Amino acid sequence: MLLSVLEVIVGLSNVILGVLLLFHVRSALRATIGPCSQEPAQGNVAIMIPFFNEPHDTLIDALNAIEQQDYLGRIEIILVDDGSTNDTSVHVRRWLAQRRHWRYHLEVLERNGGRKGKALDIAMGLVSRMAEVVTVIDSDTLLAPSALQRAMDVLLQDERNVACCGLIIPMQRQGNLVEKLQYYEHTGFLLAVKHAQSKIGKVAVIAGAFSLHRTWALKELGGWGQWLVEDVAWTWKALANGYRIVYAEDAIAYTVCPSSFTQLFRQRRRWARGKVEAVVAAWQTSRWQSVLLMPWTLLWGQISFLPCLLIAPALAWVPGSSGLAVMVTLNVGLMIVLYLLAHKRDPNHRRVARGARISAALKATACNLLFDVINIPANLLGVVDGVCNRPKAWLTRLPHGAGNSASSPNDADAST
C-alpha cells in the first residue's frame, strides 16, 4: 500500500517536471526566431522598503543601488521604519538630506507591527496616485542597475500580467554550507521552475525581496497585512482570481540569506506555514482556480516531505520496489536536466563550457536533494503551525539589536 502511494506521488511529480521541461524546450525553440521588439517601459514606479533594526550601512547600500537604476520612468521610494530600536532612521535622514536622483519619503512607526505585511499596507497608503506599479524590495537587497527596467519591461508585455518577480541571487555564494546550499537552490531548480511557470503566467511565488505589482491589482485584491508570509499568499490569491504572474530572469537582485541552520530552520518553518496560508487564500477566492493550482502544491509537497534522497535508500530493502526505483531515478534525472537548462539561462553561467556546466549540474542537484532532506523538520512544523492555526510569529525577527530587517533573514523566495 505504501509503495503504491509513493509511486503515485513520485509519478505525478515526474509528470509536472516533464511538463516544465517541455515549456523549456518550447521556449528554446521560439528563442531561435529572435526576440520581439518592444519599447522600454516608462511608467511611474513606487518602491516600498519596510525595515526593522536593519544596520544602517546595509540599508544605505540598498538605497545607493536604487539611485543607480537606469530606469527611464519616474521612481518614488517609500521607506517605513517598522518600530526599529536602533538609529538607522537617523542615518537615513542624513542620507536623504543630500541631493538625490529619485523622490524619497521616510515614515517612522512608533511600534513594530510584528509582520512585514502590516508595514507594507502602511506604505501602500503613502504611494502617490501617479504610480502605475508598486515594487517591494527588502532592505538588505541590492538591485542590479538594470533590474527595475527589465522587470518592468516583462510586467508590461501583457495587460493580463499583474505581478512580476526578478532573479534573486544570494550574496553569500562562497560562504558556509548553509549559504552555499541556498545559492544552488535559488540559481538552479527554482530558476528552472519559475521560467516554465512564467510561460503560462502561473509563477507560484513572487519573492518578497524583489517583486512588482500593478497598482490597480493591489487596490482590487487588497494588501498583505493579514498574512505571515505575505508574498506567497498574495500571489495565490491573484492566481485564484485568474490573473497572470510572470518572471523576469534578467532582472537581478542580490540579497542576504540565512547563514546558520537555526536561522534557516526558522525561515523554512515560516515559509511552510505560508504555503498553508496561500492554499487557504486561493480556496476562499475560487475553488476551481485552486484546483488548477494543485500541481504546484503537489510538487512542493513531494520535494518538501518525500525528497528522492530520502526514498532511495529504502528501495534496496523493500521487495517489489523496482517500479518506484525507476520513478525515483527519472525524478532525479529530470531535475538534473532542468538544472542544466536553468544553469544555461543564468547570466553568470551562459558562457561556461559544457563540461563544467554538466559538472555543476550534478553537484547542484546533489546539493538540492540534500537541502530538501535538511528542511523536512522545518516544513513539517510549519504546516502543523498553519493547520492548527497557531499564533503567528515572524520567527526570524529579533526585537532588539541590529542585523534583522523586516524580512531578515531574507524572504528571497518561498520555493515553488
Residue 189 binned pLDDT confidence (cut-offs 50, 70, 90): confident
Residue 288 lies in a domain: no
Q: Rounded distance, CA 89 to CA 175, Å?
A: 30
Q: Phi and psi of 375, rounded to 5°?
A: -85, -5
Q: Rounded distance, CA 211 to CA 135, Å?
A: 6
Residue 21 lies in a domain: no
- Those residues with Cβ within 8 angstroms of residue 135's Cβ, 6 or more apart along the chain or in another chain: 45, 46, 47, 48, 148, 151, 210, 211, 212, 213
Residue 298 lies in a domain: no
Strand 133-137 versus strand 142-143 pairing type: unpaired
pLDDT at 377: 94
Tell me if the bond preceding 307 is cis, omega within 30° of 0.
no
**Mean pLDDT value across residues 272-284:** 92
Asked if 149 and 70 touch (Cβ cutoff 8 Å), the reply is yes
Q: Rounded distance, CA 76 to CA 124, Å?
A: 12
HSE, side-chain direction, 13 A CA sphere, residue 100: 23
CATH assignment of the domain containing 248: 3.90.550.10
Domain count, the chain: 1
Residue 230 binned pLDDT confidence (cut-offs 50, 70, 90): confident
- Those residues with Cβ within 8 angstroms of residue 312's Cβ, 6 or more apart along the chain or in another chain: 325, 328
Residue 306 lies in a domain: no
Asked if 72 and 42 touch (Cβ cutoff 8 Å), the reply is yes
- For 75, 176, 191, the CA distances from 416, given in Å and listed in that order, are 30, 24, 10
**Mean pLDDT value across residues 146-170:** 94
Asked if 254 and 147 touch (Cβ cutoff 8 Å), the reply is no
Q: Is the pLDDT of residue 43 over 60?
A: yes
Residue 157 binned pLDDT confidence (cut-offs 50, 70, 90): very high
Residue 331 binned pLDDT confidence (cut-offs 50, 70, 90): confident
Q: Rounded distance, CA 285 to CA 280, Å?
A: 9
HSE, side-chain direction, 13 A CA sphere, residue 158: 14
Asked if 81 and 88 touch (Cβ cutoff 8 Å), the reply is yes
Asked if 205 and 232 touch (Cβ cutoff 8 Å), the reply is yes
Residue 181 lies in a domain: yes
Q: Is the pLDDT of residue 152 over 90?
A: yes
**Mean pLDDT value across residues 351-370:** 73
**Mean pLDDT value across residues 144-155:** 96
Q: For residue 137, give the nearest of 71, 48, 243 by alpha carbon.
A: 48
Residue 89 lies in a domain: yes
Strand 161-170 versus strand 210-214 pairing type: antiparallel
pLDDT at 95: 97
CA triple 129-131-135, angle to 5 deg:
135
How does DSSP classify residue 37? P
Query: Structure pTM?
Result: 0.86
Q: Rounded distance, CA 276 to CA 192, Å?
A: 23
pLDDT at 8: 82
**Mean pLDDT value across residues 64-68:** 97
Residue 325 lies in a domain: no
Q: Is the pLDDT of residue 11 over 50?
A: yes
Asked if 262 and 398 touch (Cβ cutoff 8 Å), the reply is no
- Which structural domain, as residue segments, surrounds residue 134? 45-267
